Amino acid sequence: MIFASDNWSGAHPAVNAALARYSEGMASAYGTSELDKAVEKRFDEIFEREVAVFFVGTGTAANSLALASVNRPGGVVLCHREAHVVEDECGAPEFFTHGARMAPVDGPDGLIDPANLKREIARFKPDFVHAGQPMAVSISQPGEAGTLYAAETIETIAAIAHERGLTLHMDGARFANGLVATGLSPAEMTWKRGVDILSFGATKNGCWCAEAIVVFDPAKATQFPYIRKRGAQLFSKTRFVAAQFMAYFDDGLWLRMAGHANRMADRLRQALAASNAAREAWPTQSNEVFAVLPKDLAARMREAGAVFHDWNAPHSMPELAGEDETLVRLVTSWSTSEEDVVRFAGFLR
Amino acid sequence: MIFASDNWSGAHPAVNAALARYSEGMASAYGTSELDKAVEKRFDEIFEREVAVFFVGTGTAANSLALASVNRPGGVVLCHREAHVVEDECGAPEFFTHGARMAPVDGPDGLIDPANLKREIARFKPDFVHAGQPMAVSISQPGEAGTLYAAETIETIAAIAHERGLTLHMDGARFANGLVATGLSPAEMTWKRGVDILSFGATKNGCWCAEAIVVFDPAKATQFPYIRKRGAQLFSKTRFVAAQFMAYFDDGLWLRMAGHANRMADRLRQALAASNAAREAWPTQSNEVFAVLPKDLAARMREAGAVFHDWNAPHSMPELAGEDETLVRLVTSWSTSEEDVVRFAGFLR
Amino acid sequence: MIFASDNWSGAHPAVNAALARYSEGMASAYGTSELDKAVEKRFDEIFEREVAVFFVGTGTAANSLALASVNRPGGVVLCHREAHVVEDECGAPEFFTHGARMAPVDGPDGLIDPANLKREIARFKPDFVHAGQPMAVSISQPGEAGTLYAAETIETIAAIAHERGLTLHMDGARFANGLVATGLSPAEMTWKRGVDILSFGATKNGCWCAEAIVVFDPAKATQFPYIRKRGAQLFSKTRFVAAQFMAYFDDGLWLRMAGHANRMADRLRQALAASNAAREAWPTQSNEVFAVLPKDLAARMREAGAVFHDWNAPHSMPELAGEDETLVRLVTSWSTSEEDVVRFAGFLR
Amino acid sequence: MIFASDNWSGAHPAVNAALARYSEGMASAYGTSELDKAVEKRFDEIFEREVAVFFVGTGTAANSLALASVNRPGGVVLCHREAHVVEDECGAPEFFTHGARMAPVDGPDGLIDPANLKREIARFKPDFVHAGQPMAVSISQPGEAGTLYAAETIETIAAIAHERGLTLHMDGARFANGLVATGLSPAEMTWKRGVDILSFGATKNGCWCAEAIVVFDPAKATQFPYIRKRGAQLFSKTRFVAAQFMAYFDDGLWLRMAGHANRMADRLRQALAASNAAREAWPTQSNEVFAVLPKDLAARMREAGAVFHDWNAPHSMPELAGEDETLVRLVTSWSTSEEDVVRFAGFLR
C-alpha cells in the first residue's frame, strides 16, 4: 500500500526496452543524435507547433532553468503560496535565477486566484527599482494540491501576466495526469491559453529520468543551451533521455499510464467519501488525494504497511486538521495496484 | 570509425539489464532505497573506507558541486590552465560556487607542475582580502590531455595544498581508465595520496548517466544534501543511477571496459608511432590520443567516415601544429571496435 | 513640507566638519587607519561589549551581507511579509545569499507575531532537504511600518530562533529612532535580548553614507572581510565613513537628531488624531507616520508643496484605504522643520 | 614618505567644501535630485556625447556591475593575466556576473597584446556551448602596472572585440592620470576608439568615494538601475557623490590633481634612473612606479618611515627580482609632497 509518491514507482517495461534498443552503436552526444531530433519532432507534433525542447534531469532543474531563462535583475516570480517551486525545491529556483524572489499569491485549493494575482502585480509600480521587477507568473497543472486550473482560468492568468510583460510558466511535473483529467489537448492546456514555457515531466509517470523544458516561441530560447550547460544539466548521452520519451509517447503510453493513476486516485476519493472516519481535505482531481485522517487510524494503517506522507496544512487553513487528526497526501501512479487501493479503502470504512 | 568521444558510445547490456531488473515494484525515492544503500556500501568497499557518496547527473555537476561544497567567499581554485573545469564546462564551476575563480597553473602534458602550483599559491598572502582566498586544488586523473599523474605527484600536490589548508579535488571523469592505466587501487589513487573529494564518473565508460561525488571524510559532507538539492541534482528515482553502478561494479565490469578502451588507444598510439604522416602530440597514457595530422589527411579520413574533433593547442604550445596541420583528439571507449581502429590505422600509414 | 523620506535630508554640519578635519594627511586604507580603529572602539563602548564592526555603503548592503554571512545552502530567512528586505531591496538579500528565500511571516502593525513565527518554522522538518533549511529570522526595529518591538518580544523571537539554531538579525536602518522611542540602551535592544547581528544605519539620521554591520560574537565574523570585499563594499578610504560615525556619536548627536525626528512625527500624529478628514493607519511610534487621507486632500497638499509617498496597504489589510482614500507615509528627520509640520497639520484640520 | 597607494590620501578641500555646501535643505533621493542631474550633464559634456552615468561606491563595484550588465550565460571576459579585476577584487566580478570567467591574456608591461587577444578569442568556436561564450574584453587605462595603451591600440583591441560581438570595457580607476599622461581627451581615450563601457574612478584622485559607470550607448543601460540596486550600490543620498564630482570637475581640478601625481611619479622614475642600487621594473607612465630594490635598501627605507607595498612579479617574469631583491610599487597622489619624493630619492642614490 505505497501511496508515498509517484516517484516511488519504477519505469515501465517499454521504457526499459527502448533504453536497451537505443544503447547500441555510436551516436553523437549532447543532444545532436538522430534520436534526439526525432523526439524533438514528436514534441512539435504533440503541441501542434514548432517548439524548442531541452532535456534536463529533474523537475527542479526544469522549473529552475525555465525561470532563469526569463529572469531579469531583481526579478520576481508570482506563484501560489504553497507552490512546489517555493516549498519543495530547496531554493533551487532562487539559486538558478541568482536570487529571483518567489512572491506568494494566495488562492483556495492550491490554485492562484486571478484577482489576488492582479492585486499582487499592482503592488509593483513601473520603474520603481526598490521593489524589483515582476518577470514571470508560475502555475502548476495539476497544482501542488492535485487540483486543476480550468482552461479559461489559465487564459485569464495569462492575460494578467502578459498585460505587464510577464512570462507565464507552467510546472507540468504531472502534465499527463492533468491532460487526462481535464480532457484538454497539450496545446489547449498550454500555449493556446497563453502559457509561454512549460516544465514537462515524465519521470513520475513511468520513466526513469525524463524531464524537458518546452519553450513555445523558439526565438526566445537562443540563450538556453548556455543556461542549461552552465546549470550542469546537459547530459552527454542525451539519447538515454530521448529513448525514454520515445517509448513514453508511443501508442499513447503516457496517457494510459496517467489515466490509470488518476483512476486509482478516484477510487481512493470514493472510499473517503464513503468513510465516516476520514475526509477529503479538498477536491481530488488528478492522481493526488489529500485526506484528513484520525491520527490513530493513520497509525494503524502504517502498521499494516501503508506508506504515505504527512502534509503541511495550507497557510490559509492552519486549523484544517483537528488536534487528533493529521493531513496526509496519497499519491497514485501508473504502477499502483488496484489491490492496494481496495485494501487501503478497507481501512477507511 | 568514431573517435569523437567516449560519450558517443551507448550503455553496456549489463547496465540495461540492471535497469530492467530494478524497475519493478516500489522503492523509496531520493536516495533512500535499499538499492541506493547497497551501492553506497559498494563504494565503501572499493575505496577501502567509509565514504560519503552522492549521485549526480553529469560530470559537470560532480565537479561543480564538489567545488561548491568546499568553497569560501572569494575562493580560488588552482587547476591546470587547460583543465576541463576551465575550458569545457561553460562556467558551471564558477556558477555553482557563486564566482570562485579557476586560477590557471601551467605544466606540460596537461598536468600541473608542482613547482608552479607552489609559486601560484605563494602569490596569495594570508589575510590579504583583495586577492581572494585559495580554497582548493583541482586535478584530473587522467587529465584533459589523457595523461596521468604518478601516485607520488598526487602526494606532492596534496602536501602543497594541505599546507595552506586547501582541499584537493580530483576530477575522475575517466577514473576507471586511470586505474587500469596506472595499476593503482582506487584508494591508492585517491585518499591514500591525499585526495579529499572525487568526481567519480561512469557515464563515459559504459553507463547511461551515472556520476558520483565521493567525499572521503564523511564528516565534511553534512551540507552536501542541501547543496545537491539546491543544485537540482537530486534525482527522485535514484535507484536508476544505483542500478547502473551495481552492474558497473559487478564482476569488475568497469575495469574490463576501461581496459578495452585503453588498449584501443594504445593501438592508435602504435599506428601513430609507425606513421610518417602524423605524430602523437604528447604521450598517450589512457583512452585519449592527441595527434597532429596533415590537414589533407584529416579531411580524407573524415570523408571516409572517421569522426574526431579538432582540438585547441595548449597555451604553452601555440605552434604545436604547423600551418598545414591540425591537432585532433581521438577517444576510444568500451565499445570501440578493433576493426575501426585497424581501419583508421591504415590511413596513417 | 518634505515628508518623503529621511534620506531626503542632508548631512549634519558636524558630520561635514569631521570629514574636513580627517581629510588631511595620509592614512592607511581599507579599514586599517587609527581613526577606523577608534570608531570600532566606540562601537564596543556603545554596545557594552566587544563587537565586530564592518562599514558598508548602503542599508541594503548591510542587510544583504549580514544575511549572506550566516547563510546555508537552501537557506530560508523568516521575516515579516512586508519587511524592507522583502519589499524594498530589489532582491539584494536573495542575490547576495545566492538565493536564500525570504519566507513571509504575518503579524499586525508590521511586526512579526511570535506565534506565527513558531508555526512557520515548524513547517520545516529537520533534515527534510526539499524545503530548504531555515537559517535566520530577520526583524526590523523600528519596523517597516514605523512600529516597535518591545524588548520582551525581541527576547521571545530570539528564543524561538535559537531553539532551532537560527541567527537573529535586526535591520536597524533607523536604529537611533528606535532607541529614543523605546528608551532602551543599544545593548538592551540587541544582544542582551538575543540579537546576533545588526544592520546599524546612520545615513538616514544625519550622515551622508554611514552604515555598519555589527556582529555581536566576533568569532562568527572571520569570513566577513572576504564577504564584504567580494560584495564590492570595502571602501578604500574608510576613514570617510569612520569620520562620519565619529561626529555621529560625539556628545550624543545621534540621539538628539533621532529625538527631533521622533518628536516631529509625534506632532503629525497629534494632528491626525485631531483631524476629522484623515486618520492614522496604525500607531505612530518612531519617525514614520502612516496616514489614510482622502485623495482630494492629498492632492491639495501636494499642490501646496507637500511631498510624501503613497504606500501599499499591508497584505492583511487590502481594504485599509477606501476607494476615495489613499494610504501615505510621512517621514520626519533630524532636519525636518517644525514650521513645515505646523503647516502640514493645518491642512489636516 | 607614503607611497603605499593613492587611496591613502584624503579628500581635496574643494571636495569637502562641496559636501558642506550641498548638505543643506532637502533633496530627492536615489539619484533624482537637481544636483545629480547637473552632474550627469557634466559627464555628457566631458565625453562630448550623451552618456548614461551610474554612481557607485567602489571601483570594484564599478567593474563588477559594468561586466554584469553585459554578461551572458557562461560568459567569459578576456583581460590581462594580472588585471585588477582578476587579482585584486576578491572575485567580485565573478560574483556579480554569477560566475563569468576572467580569461587571462598575456602581454608585456601589464598590457594586453592584441595578437594574444585574437588567439584567445579564436579558441572559442561559435555555438560551442562547452567553452562558454566570450562576452567582453576588459582593459585598464592606466593598467595595473601603471602603463598606458596608445589610442591606436585601444582601437585595435576594440576592433577585435567588436568583430565577435564583445563589449569593450575600460577600468578607469585612475582615468584622470591616464588622460593627463596621454594627452588624450576623455572621448578620444574611450568611445571614439571603441570603448563601450567605462569604470570612471575619482576616489583615488582626491575624492572620498566617487565612482561611476559610464555607458556610452544609453540604450544599452535600461536594466542597469535594477542591476545597481540589486547589487546594493544605489546610495540613498546620492547628492553626496554628485557633490564630490561637482567639485572634482570644477575648473579642471581633477586634471590638476592627476597632473601633480604623475609629476611626482616621474620624479621617482628619474631618481631610479640615476640610481645604481635600484631600477625600474618597467616604464613609468602615470602615477605608479614599479621598482626592483635590494632587500636591505627597502628595509632601511621602511625603517626611515617609507611606506610602500611589495608586489607579485608578473607571471611572465617570475625571475624579475633576484634573490636579494624585491619588487615594490610606489604610488603618488594629488597630495604627495615633493619633499617626501626628494627624501625618498635620496635613499636611492
Compute CA distances A188 → A173, A193, A194, D349, whole Å.
Answer: 17, 6, 9, 86
**Residue B280: which of B320, B332, B233 has the closest Cα?**
B320
pLDDT at residue number C131: 96
CATH topology of domain C253-348: Aspartate Aminotransferase, domain 1 (3.90.1150)
Other C-beta atoms lying within 10 Å of the C-beta of residue B219: 7
Contact (CB<8Å) B29/A4: yes
Chains touching chain A at 3 or more Cβ pairs under 8 angstroms?
B, C, D
Question: Phi and psi of D244, rounded to 5°?
Answer: -65, -45
**Best C6, C230, C340 residue to mutate vs chain D (most D CBs within 10 Å):** C230
- Decide: B186 and B46 in contact? Cβ < 8 Å: yes
**Predicted complex ipTM:** 0.97
In what side-by-side order are the strands of the sheet with B288-294? B279-280, B288-294, B325-331, B309-310
Res. D349: pLDDT tops 90: no
The whole-model pTM stands at: 0.97
- 3-class secondary structure per residue, C4-65: CCHHHCCCCHHHHHHHHHHCCCCCCCCCCCHHHHHHHHHHHHHHCCCCEEEEECCHHHHHHH
Taking an 8 Å Cβ-Cβ cutoff, which residues of chain B contact chain D? Answer: 73-76, 86-102, 104, 119, 123, 129-132, 312, 318
Taking a C-beta distance cutoff of 8 angstroms, is the pair D232, D38 a contact?
A: no
Report the distance separating Cα D199 and Cα D233, nearest Å: 14
Kindly report the backbone phi and psi dihedral angles of residue D211, in degrees, each rounded to the nearest multiple of 5, phi listed first: -130, 150
The rounded mean pLDDT for chain A is 97
Nearest Cβ partner for A99 among C87, C95, C132 = C95
- Joined together, the cell numbers standing for residue B87 give 575550458
Query: Is residue A349 scored above 90 in pLDDT?
Result: no
When pLDDT is averaged across residues C247-268 and rounded to a whole number, the result is 98
Q: What is the pLDDT of residue B96?
A: 98
Give the pLDDT score at C349: 85
DSSP string for residues in B159-218: HHHHHTTPEEEEEETTHHHHHHHH---HHHHTGGGT--EEEEE-GGGT-SS-EEEEESSG
**Orientation of helix D338-348 relative to helix D253-273, angle to 10°:** 20
3-state secondary structure of C236: coil
Record: contact A227-D73, CB cut-off 8 A:
yes
Question: Distance between CA atoms of A101 and C87, rounded to whole angstroms?
Answer: 10
Using the predicted structure, report yes or no on whether residue D151 has a pLDDT greater than 90: yes
Name the average pLDDT for chain D.
97
The Cα A150–Cα C108 span in angstroms is 35
What is the C-alpha separation between B233 and B66, in angstroms, rounded?
Answer: 12
Q: What is the pLDDT of residues C289-309, one digit of tens each?
A: 999 999 999 999 999 999 999
pLDDT in tens, D71-130: 999 999 999 999 999 999 999 999 999 999 999 999 999 999 999 999 999 999 998 999
Euclidean distance between the first and the last CA atom of chain B, given in angstroms as a whole number: 16
Before A218, cis peptide (omega within 30)?
no
Pick the CATH number of D12-251 from 3.40.50.1100, 1.20.1440.230, 3.40.50.300, 3.40.640.10: 3.40.640.10
Q: What is the mean pLDDT of chain C?
A: 97
| CA C258 – CA C12 distance, rounded (Å) | 12
> What span, in angstroms and rounded, lies between the C-alpha atoms of A337 and B26?
11
User: In which region does residue D343 sit, left (phi positive, over 0), alpha (psi from -120 to 50) or beta (all else)?
Assistant: alpha
- Assess whether pLDDT exceeds 90 at residue C51: yes
Contacts of C131 in chain A (CB under 8 A): 87-88, 90
Q: In the structure, what pLDDT confidence band is assigned to residue C185 with cuts at 50, 70 and 90?
A: very high
C-interface mutation test, from D7, D64, D244, D245, most C Cβ less than 10 A away = D7
Phi, psi of D273 (to 5 degrees): -60, -35
Mean pLDDT on A197-213: 98
Q: Contact C263/C180 with Cβ under 8 angstroms?
A: no
- D87's grid cell: 587579482
Which residues in chain D are closer than 8 Å to B314, comparing Cβ atoms?
none
Grid-cell match 586505474, residue found: B179
Residues of A in contact with C90 (CB under 8 A): 73-74, 129-132
What residues are paired with D102 via a beta bridge?
D77
Nearest alpha carbon to residue D273 among D282, D262, D263 = D282
Q: Which of D93, D102, D56, D91 is nearest to D213 (CA)?
A: D56
The model's pLDDT over A296-317, given as tens digits with 9 standing for 90+, comes to 999 999 999 999 999 999 999 9
pLDDT at residue C344, rounded to an integer:
96
Residues in A touching D230 (Cβ below 8 Å) = 73-74, 99, 132
Cβ contact, residue pair D98, B99, below 8 Å: yes
- Burial (Cβ within 10 Å: 0-12, 13-18, ≥19) of residue D321: buried
Say if strands C309-310 and D52-56 run parallel, antiparallel, or are unpaired: unpaired
Supply the pLDDT for residue A125. Answer: 94
For residues D169 and D197, the answer to whether their CB atoms sit within 8 Å is: yes
Distance separating alpha carbons of residues B289 and C140, to the nearest angstrom: 62
pLDDT per residue over A138-147, tens digit each?
A: 999 999 899 9
How many whole angstroms from its chain centre is CA A179? 12
Interface touch D133/A30, C-beta < 8 Å:
no
- Fill in the amino acid letter for D105: V
A-chain residues near C86 (CB < 8 A): 101
Q: Are strands B197-201 and B211-215 parallel, antiparallel or unpaired?
A: antiparallel
Residues C309-346 pLDDT 10s? 999 999 999 999 999 999 999 999 999 999 999 999 99
**Through-space distance between the first and last CA atoms of chain D, rounded to whole angstroms:** 16
- Subunit contact A91:C104, Cβ cutoff 8 A: no
Helix orientation angle between D253-273 and D239-249, rounded to the nearest 10 degrees = 70
Write the CA distances from B100 to C123, C234, D93, integer angstroms: 33, 18, 10
pLDDT at position D167, please? 98
C30, C72, C130 ranked by CB distance to B229: nearest: C130
CA angle at residue C306 from C305 to C311, to 5 degrees? Answer: 140
Interface with chain C: mutation pick from A95, A97, A119, highest number of C CBs within 10 Å: A95
The residue of chain C with its CA nearest to that of A120 is C315
> Bridge partners of D80?
D105
- Strand D133-140 to D197-201 pairing: unpaired
The full 3-state SS of chain D, as one line of letters, equals CECCCHHHCCCCHHHHHHHHHCCCCCCCCCCCCHHHHHHHHHHHHHHCCCCEEEEECCHHHHHHHHHHHCCCCCEEEEEECCCHHHHCCCCHHHHHCCCCEEEEECCHHHCCCHHHHHHHHHCCCCCCHHHCEEEEEEEECCCCCCCCCCHHHHHHHHHHHHHCCCEEEEEECCHHHHHHHHCCCHHHHCHHHCCCEEEEECHHHCCCCCEEEEECCHHHHCCHHHHHHHCCCCCCCCHHHHHHHHHHHHHHHHHHHHHHHHHHHHHHHHHHHCCCCCEECCCCCCCEEEEEEEHHHHHHHHHCCCECEECCCCCCCCCCCCCCEEEEEEECCCCCCHHHHHHHHHHHC
Residues of D in contact with C5 (CB under 8 A): 29, 236
Nearest to D140 by CA among D82, D96, D192: D82
Contact B226 C73 (CB under 8 A): yes
Tens-digit pLDDT profile for residues C217-256: 999 999 999 999 999 999 999 999 999 999 999 999 999 9
Domain range summary for chain C, segments of one domain joined by +: 12-251, 253-348
Distance CA B222, CA B232 (A): 18
Nearest chain A residue to D130, by CA: A229
The b-or-e profile of C54-63 (16+ CB within 10 A means b, else e) is bbbbbbbbbb
Residue B69's pLDDT is 98
The one-character DSSP state at C313 is P
Residue D338: CB partners within 8 Å, gap ≥ 6?
D264, D267
Looking at residue A167, its amino acid is T
pLDDT at D261: 98
B-chain residues within 8 Å CB-CB of A339? none
Task: For residue D223, give the nearest of A73, A223, A230 by CB distance.
Answer: A73
Strands A325-331 and A288-294: antiparallel
Contacts of residue B161, defined as CB under 8 A and 6 or more positions apart, other chains included, come to B136, B137, B167, B168, B194
- For residue range B254-271, list pLDDT tens digits in order: 999 999 999 999 999 999
pLDDT for position A8: 97
Cβ(C169)–Cβ(C136) under 8 Å?
A: yes
Local confidence pLDDT in tens for the 349 residues of chain B: 999 999 999 999 999 999 999 999 999 999 999 999 999 999 999 999 999 999 999 999 999 999 999 999 999 999 999 999 999 999 999 999 999 999 999 999 999 999 999 999 999 999 899 999 999 999 999 998 999 999 999 999 999 999 999 999 999 999 999 999 999 999 999 999 999 999 999 999 999 999 999 999 999 999 999 999 999 999 999 999 999 999 999 999 999 999 999 999 999 999 999 999 999 999 999 999 999 999 999 999 999 999 999 999 999 999 999 999 999 999 999 999 999 999 999 999 8
Residue B349 is predicted with a pLDDT of 85
